[in-house]
Structure 1
Amino acid sequence: MESVDHKKRLCLVGARGAFLREALSLGVEILAVQTPEEYRGLPADLAAEVTSLVLDYQDTDRLVELVSALHAVRPLDAVVTVFEEALLPVARLVDALGLPGVPHATVTLLTDKWAMRRHLREAGVSSVLAELGTGRADLAAFGGMAGYPFIAKPVAGSASLGIFKVESADDIDRVHEGLTAVGLGTFLMEEFLEGPEISVDGLSFHGRYVPVAICDKILGPDFVEFGHCLPARLSPETEQEVVELVAEFLDCVGLAEGLSHVEVKLTPAGPRIVEGHNRRGGDRLNTMAESVYGFSLERTALELALGVMPERHARPEAKGASSVCFFAAERGVVKEVTGAEEVRAHAQVLELHINFPAGQEVPPLRWSLDRAGYVVVHADTADAAEALARDLAGRIAFAVEPKDFDTSAERDDLRALVGEIDQSNRLGYARPAADAAQERHPA
């Protein structure tokens, strides 16, 4: 690998943990842009090695003002992140500073799922029936047009939060109440795509796409992801269809450089795009890809941004397979967790993490961060990896003491959580529902 010249300077937005350590290993100077919470969680040894700029980086005007001033004194070579919540701020900086990266217009198109659906429909790429909704009447109208079931979800959400499946016309009241309860006055409605879901992580070099990690996805209740398996078990014909669709999708939205993570449904009518992102996939996919391909997606994001990664021309060869299995726990206060030492000692385990150790409360399962933990394994085949991950996850047992929960407070917490994760207010959707309806259906 080409070495990094003379202390290049990197602005890392959302700098934390292993990703920050990976950046430091490249021998670069780092301007770490962090929220106060991220800064407080930074280990002392890392804090001593970086220059920190602590602010709410969702205030992008302030972010651009401060980073531009620092850039004028000590020029930056790149701005990068791998975290969903920092993609739009990074894109603003890329445009403002004139640095290499994905432009704000493309990141906005990927973040705003309604804009993405309209753009794809106009281009004739993986068209999926979709409409914006603001109330019960819109749900009923969309069901009458698209049929049942269909999906209602945040316009710019993530982490499987706030997604509702409308099973029939009789289900509209329930879903509308659910959307209202979590504060989604404006939401996206999409036709339900039948079939298994996969994810595709890859790289783009000046518009030329190279797939890397194609993963099977295992869904749990309410669309929360409970596992992934790499490589996906696809026929060569289906895999080729998927790769061609993903490349067409990325061309359509204007993503010509860097990492991408694209979710695809394998429907009876062929593969269809669910959504895409200009980052690596989550849910331990970086660990899995490194296990199977010897290829760190996070390090790749840094090397691509700094211009020190040689261009790849082919997908790396898989060496074995990897799977992650998430597990849940009953609600209540955790008294004891058993089985972890046995599982961690297994020769094929790459990672084991318990989210709720003894003394912590297990919340209701609403989104990805409510899962109780995960185990990641390596095996010779995808089938063997998935079976082993499931088996080992099943050996982790939580002894939980039930308690009474304040359901009113939980509803408020969920509403606040959806508001925090959904980025639609940063994309111009923070309007009264009546105004949105008038704009879509003028008199």
Structure 2
Amino acid sequence: MTKRVCLVSPKPPMLQRARQQKLDVVCVYTPEEFRTVPPSALEDETCLVLRHREDPRAMVEAVRALHARAPFSAVFTVQEEGVVPAALLNDELGLNGVHSDTVALLTDKWRMRQHTAAQGVSTVRAALATDVTDITEFGAAVGYPLIAKPVGGSASLAIHKIENAAEAERVHAALAEVGMHRFLLEEYLEGPEISVDVMSFAGRHVVIAIADKITGAGFLEYGHSIPAVLDAGLEAEVSRTVGAFLDSVGLRDGLSHTEVKLTPAGPKVVEGHNRRGGDRINTMTELVYGIDLEAAGLAWMTGESEPLTARPAAKCGAAVAFFEAEPGRVVAIDGADEVRDHPAVVEFHLQFAVGQVAPPVRWSPDRAGYLVVTAETGEAASALARSLAGRIRFTTEPVDNDADELRRQRDLLTDLDQADYVDVLEPRR
């Protein structure tokens, strides 16, 4: 009997994976999301196009009606914008997925910090803030530097490091300018950052991929490599820390992506998500371990696979590196053909073509493109990827769009900050 799945905000590759698993698919999109889906990507899928952020109950009732006629085996998403509506549907339909209590903690970072502090899990000092006094009082209490960031954002947008009390007013003004009048303060965590992708099976967590991370200005990510360079003892400590974090937020099944700082006091969780990692981590995990996280997560949640006992041994290393371009209209791109044809390059993508405007890099999609390579080890792959990325040269000419840029950043923060959306989630009884 064909199993039925409700996919929230699926991109074309996710639709293809569902077809390969011979699932009957119903998709839930917002109008804005649906407009980005190429018509050729859709075949026999039923699509519900709803403004579910504005009216989540209408979405629930529409999906409930379909579920009553032919029950879903699972509601599934791998997109950050899909985790809240998917949780609502899991709650209302009584399905065995990630539910509202977990998603509320992972989406609202202030809730998460309060919760993990109460449980004594990867405690990081934090406070909710609205003004300059909040910043200076928190700085006096915990010491500088500090981090100020959105309560419910993603994609490395609007993260500020505050080095001392004298910078408090400047950072507060920058936040207010883009409409961020409530924000999270955290103690700054010294040390390199890694990410950990896990599959959980009825409460048993299997670490699949640990990635080293390269960050640039504003903590934007410019590269990842798998496997991370960790000795066995530190890797085990990271696995224990992430497992304890997932237990604390109640994540028992499916995919998760947790960002971790390797501090002098041990691994500390930066934030977590109930989805696979972005930035081509799924591609690299399949290259290195032979595990397609999206396909494996979907198969587990629909009851079509057995649980993993452990990740396979690494077959190679893989890395992604992102390109940089000066803001402005692109007038030339040099080096692309040479780099694209390099035998180690598995994927190559340019975000902007000649004639298009490259914006200031405010969040991940503003980066100018990327390449994915394989090599013998993750470390070797990272070095090669960065070397090849350095050969891509964008020539741009200035454009006057300061007002548009400010409006764009405000709109992005509004769209990505799901902390208010979390309020529609009601803890399960």
Counterpart of 2:33 in structure 1 is 38
> Is 1:301 aligned with 2:325?
no
In the alignment, residue 388 of structure 2 is paired with which amino acid?
A: L
Q: Give how far 1:136 is off.
A: 1.1
Counterpart of 2:417 in structure 1 is 422
Post-superposition CA distance 1:132-189 (Å, at most 9, x none): 0011110111011111000011101100001111110100011110110121111110
Post-superposition CA distance 1:14-50 (Å, at most 9, x none): 0222111111111111101112233233233332321
> Is 1:15 aligned with 2:10?
yes
CA RMSD of aligned residues (A): 1.2
Counterpart of 2:167 in structure 1 is 171
1:6-405 correspondence to structure 2 within 5 Å? 6-58=1-53, 59-403=55-399, 405=400
Q: Distance in 2 between matches of 1:45 and 1:368?
A: 26
Ranges in structure 2 where 5+ consecutive residues have no aligned partner: 425-429
In the alignment, residue 38 of structure 1 is paired with which amino acid?
A: E
TM-score (norm 2): 0.96
In 1, are the aligned partners of 2:10 and 2:78 still within 8 Å (CA)? no
Q: Distance in 2 between matches of 1:41 and 1:271?
A: 39
SS at match of 2:128: strand
Q: Distance in 2 between matches of 1:241 and 1:384?
A: 24
Post-superposition CA distance 1:313-333 (Å, at most 9, x none): 112210110000011101111
SS at match of 1:7: coil
Q: Give how far 1:190 is off.
A: 0.3
Ranges in structure 1 where 5+ consecutive residues have no aligned partner: 1-5, 430-443
Post-superposition CA distance 1:29-85 (Å, at most 9, x none): 110111223323323333232111111232321110111111112221111000001
Q: Distance in 2 between matches of 1:310 and 1:321?
A: 26
SS at match of 2:7: strand
Q: Distance in 2 between matches of 1:69 and 1:318?
A: 45
Q: Distance in 1 between matches of 2:421 and 2:379?
A: 42
Counterpart of 1:435 in structure 2 is none
Q: Identify which range, 33-42 or 201-210, moves more after superposition.
A: 33-42
Post-superposition CA distance 1:94-146 (Å, at most 9, x none): 01001110111101111111111111111111111001001111011101111
In the alignment, residue 29 of structure 2 is paired with which amino acid?
A: Q
SS at match of 2:214: strand
> What is the total number of aligned residue pairs between the two structures?
423
Q: Give how far 1:395 is off.
A: 1.6
Q: Give how far 1:198 is off.
A: 0.3
Q: Distance in 2 between matches of 1:148 and 1:353?
A: 39
In the alignment, residue 26 of structure 1 is paired with which amino acid?
A: Q
In 1, are the aligned partners of 2:154 and 2:417 still within 8 Å (CA)? yes
Q: Distance in 2 between matches of 1:78 and 1:342?
A: 45
Q: Identify which range, 200-209 or 418-427, moves more after superposition.
A: 418-427
SS at match of 2:147: strand
Q: Identify which range, 301-310 or 51-60, moves more after superposition.
A: 51-60
Counterpart of 1:433 in structure 2 is none
Q: Distance in 1 between matches of 2:177 and 2:305?
A: 47
Counterpart of 2:406 in structure 1 is 411
Q: Distance in 1 between matches of 2:379 and 2:210?
A: 15
In the alignment, residue 263 of structure 1 is paired with which amino acid?
A: E
Distance 1:149 1:234, change over 3 A: same
Q: Distance in 2 between matches of 1:34 and 1:412?
A: 25
Q: Give how far 1:428 is off.
A: 4.4
In the alignment, residue 125 of structure 1 is paired with which amino acid?
A: V
Distance 1:83 1:56, change over 3 A: same
Q: Distance in 2 between matches of 1:427 and 1:49?
A: 32
Q: Distance in 1 between matches of 2:423 and 2:273?
A: 19
In 2, are the aligned partners of 1:375 and 1:393 still within 8 Å (CA)? yes
- Tell me the percent identity: 52
Q: Distance in 2 between matches of 1:285 and 1:141?
A: 39
Q: Give how far 1:88 is off.
A: 0.7
